[in-house]
Amino acid sequence: MSRLATLGWRRGVLGLVITLLLAWTAARLNADDPEIRLLLDEPWEEMRRRSSADIDPAIAGHYWGRQTRTDARLRFMDPQYGFVTPLARFFSISFGEERVTGVRMSPQIEPLLLDDTLKVVLDLQEQWRKGGWIPIHEKSDPPFADTLQWRDQLRDVMGAGTSYWQAADQYQVMLVVNRFKDDRHPTEERYLIKLALANPWVQP
């Protein structure tokens, strides 16, 4: 093998090693993020024991909710319909009879630019599709897509986007995106994503 070919081969191996190290580091960082790991209808204390993010105990005899104490991602633990969100700053879990009844959250830690917003939303939808979730109310509230029509709709300060997804007769998700005036970025278009997860509450 010529010296030039050897040098090229070594550079290729070095590039591969660096790529693998970066991927491993990113995976480790994500793995270390605080998570709420839950199933709907499970005992509240089981959710708390399984999760790496802190959340207060439920209140016996009450129907209420708790918010996470730190930024955390949701890891929905259903073996078929499970999914994972990005880190969330607003993350509220409801309970009744000391069991998990639902989730309301914004899967982001700050209002996002439109490209980043669509990346989050489309990734969630792809996880649901792969897991067997089905979009419902597609005529009035179609799934989000990276199209000019969707971008124009979301940029409209009076408009918003909503999409509903259902997993058999077990779960529903509502996903909402709308413009948000962020005083920290007054010259930028920023967006909020809202996600609700519960047992079905809307007729398919």
The per-residue pLDDT for range 122-154, each reduced to its tens digit, is 999 999 999 999 999 999 999 999 999 999 999
Task: Phi first, then psi: give them for residue 122, nearest 5 degrees.
Answer: -70, -35
* Model pLDDT, residue 21: 42
Q: Do residues 84 and 197 make contact, with C-beta atoms less than 8 angstroms apart?
A: no
* Model pLDDT, residue 50: 98
Measured between alpha carbons, how far is residue 34 from residues 90, 91, 103, 175, 184 in Å? 13, 12, 16, 22, 26
* Model pLDDT, residue 99: 98
Q: Can you tell me whether residue 75 is helix, strand or coil?
A: strand
* Model pLDDT, residue 145: 98
Which of 1, 62, 39, 37 lies closest to 199 in space, CA to CA? Answer: 39
* Model pLDDT, residue 30: 45
* Model pLDDT, residue 23: 39
* Model pLDDT, residue 11: 52
Q: What is the DSSP letter of 88?
A: B
Neighbours of 112 (CB within 10 A): 24
Per residue of the chain (204 residues), what is the pLDDT tens digit? 555 444 455 555 444 434 334 334 344 344 589 999 999 999 999 999 999 999 999 999 999 999 999 999 999 999 999 999 999 999 999 999 999 999 999 999 999 999 999 999 999 999 999 999 999 999 999 999 999 999 999 999 888 999 999 999 999 999 999 999 988 989 999 999 999 999 999 998
C-alpha span between 174 and 198 (Å, rounded)? 9
C-alpha span between 190 and 168 (Å, rounded)? 34
* Model pLDDT, residue 41: 98
Burial 180-195 (b: 16+ CB within 10 A, else e): beeeeeeeebbbbbbb
What is the value of pTM for the model shown?
0.83
* Model pLDDT, residue 1: 52
C-alpha span between 21 and 44 (Å, rounded)? 38
Q: Do residues 98 and 65 make contact, with C-beta atoms less than 8 angstroms apart?
A: no
